[in-house]
Amino acid sequence: MKVYKLLVKAERGNASAQYDLSICYGSGLGVTQDYQEAVRWLIKAAEQGHAQAQYSFGLCYGKGQGVTQDYQEAARWYLKAAEQGYAEA
């Protein structure tokens, strides 16, 4: 899917599109790599209960990518994803 279409859906509040857009920014797919922009979209999806986004947000905190490294915050987001049955968490 083109980044523009993802952006439109993400701006409308679609959590899956927000997560996918965060992946684009985090890896530089179709856009300039930007961890802070990736985290901006990732938190939107995570706060809506998107389990994979919650897990990924935990990874960001664990690695300090786009946010200040914080293991307690990482664990909090891992737990949210795990409570939804996300196995990797």
> What is the pLDDT confidence band of residue 2, given thresholds at 50, 70 and 90?
confident
As given in the structure block, the two tokens for residue 66 are 């786009």
Confidence (pLDDT) at 1:
58
Q: Are 75 and 58 in contact (CB under 8 A)?
A: yes
| pTM exceeds 0.85, yes or no | yes
Q: Which long-range contacts (CB under 8 A, 24 or more apart) does 74-78 make?
A: 77/46, 78/54
- pLDDT digits 0-9 by tens, 6-26: 999 999 999 999 999 999 999
58-80 pLDDT tens trace: 999 999 988 999 999 999 999 99
Question: Domain 3-83: which CATH class?
Answer: mainly alpha
For residue 73, the model assigns a pLDDT of 97
Domain boundaries, the chain: 3-83
Among 1-10, 18-27, 46-55, the range scoring the smallest mean pLDDT is: 1-10
Q: What is the mean pLDDT of residues 19-40?
A: 94
